[in-house]
Amino acid sequence: MKYMVQMTVNPPKDMDPQEWQEILRREKEYGQAFMKNGKFQHIWRIVGEFANVSIFDVESNDELHTILAGFPLFPYMDMNVTALAKHPSALN
């Protein structure tokens, strides 16, 4: 079941740069674990923004929320979720 998630990062103004780098490192590791198991299918950078467009493929709304809320950057991101369905023009 597919969802588009648009994520915008709002970096905290006063965090220690090393702590921030550590959060970014864990963010990447956390995200890639779900890319490898097929649940986080695509991520693209929005040009000119600290933001991305992501596509998830999960079993349920609850599973998606659990994954999203677990991102190390979750407290520093605005997320917007769009539920997607199969399109009649899609191949296969």
Contacting residues toward its own copies, per CB under 8 A: 1-5, 11-13, 27-28, 31-32, 35-36, 42-49, 52-53, 55, 60-62, 64-66, 68-69, 75, 79-91
Select 16 or 90, whichever has its Cβ closest to its own copies: 90
Structure token pair of residue 12: 């905290």
In the complex, minimum distance from the CB of residue 58 to its own copies, in angstroms, rounded to a whole number? 10
In the complex, minimum distance from the CB of residue 16 to its own copies, in angstroms, rounded to a whole number? 14
Select 19 or 28, whichever has its Cβ closest to its own copies: 28
Which residues contact residue 83 at a Cβ distance below 8 angstroms, ignoring those fewer than 6 apart?
Answer: 3
Which residues contact residue 31 at a Cβ distance below 8 angstroms, ignoring those fewer than 6 apart?
Answer: 40, 43, 71
Q: 5 phi and psi, to 5 degrees?
A: -125, 120
- Paired with 7 in beta bridges are 52, 79
In the complex, minimum distance from the CB of residue 76 to its own copies, in angstroms, rounded to a whole number? 11
